[in-house]
């Protein structure tokens, strides 16, 4: 889960956005990568949240993930609370093997 740091979201907002991203990516992965979902489900359903500096960086990492054949999902906020409508808040990637994700986003700091 790549959370945009520049939006300065509160903890509750981050939790909600990460939940939306997780569910959206899971639903997409059920169709696109069911074997990865099964492995992930049987191995504890690991989720890791990291900081990404801005939208540009997040979109670049999404493009890299898609080019590598990974499932992605980006949350666009509805704009009802802290963030402007349409703001891209969180990118979810996976499920995928740990080494694949580490190669892509291992340089980012934990949230």
- Is 19 within a domain? yes
- Domain range for 51 is 2-106
Q: What CATH number does residue 93 fall under?
A: 3.40.1490.10
Mean pLDDT of the chain: 96
Q: What are the start-end ranges of the H helices in 1-111?
A: 11-32, 34-42, 55-67, 98-105
- Is 111 within a domain? no
* H/E segment holding residue 109: none
Q: pTM for this one?
A: 0.95
DSSP annotation of 70: -
* H/E segment holding residue 98: helix 98-105
pLDDT in tens, 62-91: 999 999 999 999 999 988 888 999 999 999
- Is 18 within a domain? yes
Structure token digits, residue 40:
């992930």
Determine the pLDDT at residue 9: 96
Report how many domains make up the chain. Answer: 1
């Amino acid at each position: 889960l790549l959370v945009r740091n520049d939006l300065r979201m509160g903890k509750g907002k981050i939790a909600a956005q990460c939940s939306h991203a997780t569910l959206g990516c899971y639903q997409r992965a059920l169709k696109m990568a069911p074997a990865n979902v099964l492995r992930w489900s049987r191995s504890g359903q690991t989720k890791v949240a990291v900081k990404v500096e801005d939208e540009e960086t997040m979109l670049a990492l999404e493009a890299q993930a898609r080019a590598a054949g990974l499932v992605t999902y980006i949350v666009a906020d509805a704009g009802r609370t802290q963030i402007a409508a349409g703001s891209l808040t969180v990118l979810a990637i996976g499920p995928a093997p740990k080494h694949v994700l580490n190669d892509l986003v291992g340089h980012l700091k934990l949230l």
